[in-house]
Amino acid sequence: MKRERQLGIIYSAPMGLWLTIFFLIPISIIVIYSFLKKGLYGGVEWQFTLKAYQEMFNPAFLKVLWRTLWVSVVATAITLLLALPCGYAMARSRHQIFWLALIIVPFWTNSLIRIYAWIAILSSEGFINELLLSLGIIKESLSLIYNQQAVITVLVYINIPFAILPLFTTIDKFDFQLLEAARDLGATKRKAIFKVLLPSIRSGIITALIFTFIPIFGAYTTPLLVGGKDSYMIGNIIVDQVTKTRNWPLASAFSLIITLLSTLGVIWILVSGMQDKAKGVVK
Amino acid sequence: MRKLSLLLLVGITFLLTSCPKEEKVLHLYNWTYYTPEALIEQFEETYGIKVVIDYFASNEDMFAKLKAGAKGYDLVFPSQDYVEIMIHEKMVLPIDHEKIPNLTYISPLVLEKATYDPTMEWSVPYYMGAAGIAVNRKRVSDYPRDWSIFSTKKLANRMSMLDDLREVIGDALAYLGYSVNSVDKKELEEAKRLINQEWKPNLVKFDAEGFAKAFASGEFLVVQGYAEAIYEELDTELWENVDFFLPPSGGPMYLDSMVIPKGANNTEAAHLFINFIHTPEVYAQFLDRFHFPSSVNTAAAPYMTTEPFYHVEDLENYELKRDLGENLTLYNTLWETIRYNE
């Protein structure tokens, strides 16, 4: 028995080592730095202070924080609304592999290149404007890029596979006879979807939500490249604090917020997953 | 056991001594694409020294890495503010003038501006230049050739300025007739007003990444930026469509220099390289590659085969960006209101 316990430690050692090196240590550095004094030329001085957290309450930062939340909520909502019917259609399709491939293949291209592709699509001299101009639908180029809408569009595009895939897998497991049963028992089509389908794929929806909201919340490249003069998000502030304004503690404090938020999200998934299981037992 | 450790010891000693001789390698730490490949090869052939280059994208990156204890670089190319910081932090070794006869070619005008090291005790200038304004001449006519171009309403949403606080605030300060290093609160307040009320409403964005591509595609019609980055994106036959100029009211200027960091393995080769690059014929090749004017090494001008994008005289009203130390916070706060507020 004792020997087995020892073996358990050995088996879990690689995992423990991995988490220590790539999770615990970096997170600890971020936590510690956020409570230190900023060094004059970047870095930190070993002196405890809460200044970084006080600085966060700067109205300019709060505005960016608010904007980040707003953009993230809108982009996540659009992503989910688009991903749900996609996932549903895929689950019911006979060509699942084909659709899966269509979703996965774009991943083979670097996301930076895909963002530049969007610049080529959306810009004043880009594909959409050229097309509309040549068809005579518009007289002057529309401003489709360097604004909040462009940021949201590209964020949705980049993150939608992360929503479709979990939704697809849960819907795929759903027993569609339940829908028929609901219809037989007098439910309308809409009622059957909202009362039977959606509650059953709840865990998939939450996973999709978390998988899209967290990366969008920490977005950096998209607002930088397709955003306008007022599209900054928290991710951009963090980079600026490290590379331009030499305020590492503030950067750490912001990172910590993003990390905490992500952790809360993951806890939410776990808890709701457990609740689902508990419900299943009661039934 | 003892035999084994003895064997190991011998083995390690053998391994260590069989490493290539140290004098034969020169480790450079330079800006990305800042020293033409051809010149590096020329240096390697002439002196039989292998050159290994590591790149950085910003002074902050470079400084953080050296400060964190990176060793083994023989020659680093920081900008003026970081040269000043590195001298102040005692991170660099003195330059031995005896070993660099070509120092005589360094323009006294440049050294006059480099007030932190006017006698090249610690650093040797590499290149001095400034960001300017590029205008798409085919699509824009009748515009002021000054910073006030950014106040032009009819160009609204087709112009960009650099995403760089020292550059943008510096331009505004210079335009108002103040020093680009001003720490006077009233002057900075005026600069902020100029940027936020006159310039920013007409800008599509502050951009340091994609502006040159957007300018090349015709999306942006007026951009503030570095000439070499802007022209690099354009085919040479399109160059005539570009009007690049440095506004005469002046602005911030940079001076990249070569320093030998403490911990350098091969100071001898570092000196050789500095002397090599400042040979007028060689330096002219560097300038030709980027269409730079011969600001630092004036003796190179006759050997140049290209017309530079701007001229040394254009830099007359330009001022080096100095390190602001604690006062950088003033600029940061200002930049936050420009950059983060709607």
Residues of A in Cβ contact (< 8 Å) with B200: 229
For residue A154, is pLDDT > 70?
yes
Q: What is the pLDDT of residue B22?
A: 46
Residues of A in Cβ contact (< 8 Å) with B219: 123-125, 145
Compute, in degrees rounded to 10, the torsion defined by CA atoms B180, B183, B184, B186.
80
Using the Cβ of B217 and the Cβ atoms of chain A, whether some distance falls under 8 Å is answered with yes
Phi, psi of A42 (to 5 degrees): 90, 175
Using the Cβ of A140 and the Cβ atoms of chain B, whether some distance falls under 8 Å is answered with no
- The contacts of residue A186 (CB under 8 Å, 6+ apart) are none
Together in a domain, B78 and B148: no
A123 to chain B nearest CA, in Å?
7
Cα torsion B272, B278, B279, B283: sign: positive
Together in a domain, B112 and B136: no
The domain ranges of chain A are 55-275
Widest CA span of chain B, in angstroms?
A: 86
Residue entry with tokens 């007098």: A186
Q: How many A-B residue pairs are in contact by the CB < 8 A criterion?
A: 74
Q: What is the pLDDT of residue A169?
A: 94
Which fold, A55-275?
MetI-like fold (1.10.3720)
CA distances from A11 to A5, A7, A8, A17, A175 (A): 10, 6, 5, 11, 38
Provide the terminal-to-terminal Cα distance of chain A, rounded to the nearest Å. 38
CB B160 within 8 A of CB B275: no
Using the Cβ of A15 and the Cβ atoms of chain B, whether some distance falls under 8 Å is answered with no
Using the Cβ of A158 and the Cβ atoms of chain B, whether some distance falls under 8 Å is answered with no
Using the Cβ of B58 and the Cβ atoms of chain A, whether some distance falls under 8 Å is answered with yes
Together in a domain, B230 and B326: yes
**pLDDT-based confidence at residue A146 (cuts at 50, 70, 90):** very high
Q: What is the pLDDT of residue B4?
A: 53
Residues of B in Cβ contact (< 8 Å) with A121: none
Together in a domain, B324 and B206: yes
> In this structure, how many other beta carbons lie within 10 angstroms of the beta carbon of residue B104?
9
Higher pLDDT pick, A12 / B98: B98
For residue A283, is pLDDT > 80?
no
Nearest CA in chain A to B85: A41
Using the Cβ of B332 and the Cβ atoms of chain A, whether some distance falls under 8 Å is answered with yes
**pLDDT-based confidence at residue A103 (cuts at 50, 70, 90):** very high
The token pair that represents A32 in the structure block: 């510690």
Together in a domain, B156 and B183: yes
| CB-based burial, B250-267: b 16+ in 10 Å, e otherwise | bbbbbbbbbbbbeebbbb
A124 to chain B nearest CA, in Å?
6
Together in a domain, B34 and B65: yes
CA distance B132 to B135: 10
Cα torsion B336, A245, B179, B206: sign: negative
Q: What is the pLDDT of residue A143?
A: 86
Please report the DSSP string for B268-318 in residue order: HHHHHHHHHHTSHHHHHHHHHHHT---SSBGGGGGG--S--SS-GGGGTT-
Domain range spanning residue B228? 132-249+319-339
Q: What is the pLDDT of residue B227?
A: 94
Name the CA radius of gyration of chain A, rounded: 23
Together in a domain, B50 and B119: yes
B234 to chain A nearest CA, in Å?
16
CB B74 within 8 A of CB B270: yes
Residues B183, B186, B192: CA angle, nearest 5 degrees: 85
Whose CA is closest to A218, among A256, A191, A245?
A256
CA distance B109 to B316: 10
Q: How many CA atoms lie within 13 A of A247 on its CB side?
A: 21
Q: What is the pLDDT of residue A279?
A: 66
Per-residue pLDDT tens, chain B, 342 aa: give them.
455 554 555 455 445 444 444 458 999 999 988 999 999 999 999 999 999 999 998 898 899 889 888 888 999 999 999 999 999 999 999 999 999 999 999 999 999 999 999 999 999 999 999 999 999 999 999 999 999 999 999 999 999 999 999 999 999 999 999 999 999 999 999 999 999 999 999 999 999 888 999 999 889 999 999 999 999 999 999 999 999 999 999 999 999 999 999 999 999 999 999 999 999 999 999 999 999 999 999 999 999 999 999 999 999 999 999 999 889 999 999 998 898 876
- The contacts of residue B306 (CB under 8 Å, 6+ apart) are B287, B288, B291
Q: What is the CATH number of the domain that holds B222?
A: 3.40.190.10
CB contact under 8 A, A229 and B209: no
Using the Cβ of A28 and the Cβ atoms of chain B, whether some distance falls under 8 Å is answered with no
For residue A32, is pLDDT > 50?
yes
CB contact under 8 A, B336 and A58: yes
Whose CA is closest to B65, among A89, A243, A67, A151?
A243
Instruction: Give me the interface pTM, i.e. the ipTM.
Output: 0.83
CA distance A268 to B114: 58
CA distance B89 to A40: 11
CB contact under 8 A, B339 and A232: yes
Give the range with max mean pLDDT: A105-114, A179-188, B177-186. B177-186
Together in a domain, B263 and B194: no
Together in a domain, B269 and B164: no
Q: What is the pLDDT of residue A282?
A: 39
Please report the DSSP string for A60-111 in residue order: HHHHHHHHHHHHHHHHHHHHHHHHHHHHHHHHH-S-HHHHHHHHHGGGGS-H
Higher pLDDT pick, A283 / A89: A89
Q: What is the pLDDT of residue B3?
A: 53
CA distance A171 to A166: 9
Residue entry with tokens 């090291």: B117
Q: How many CA atoms lie within 13 A of A219 on its CB side?
A: 36
CB contact under 8 A, B60 and A42: yes
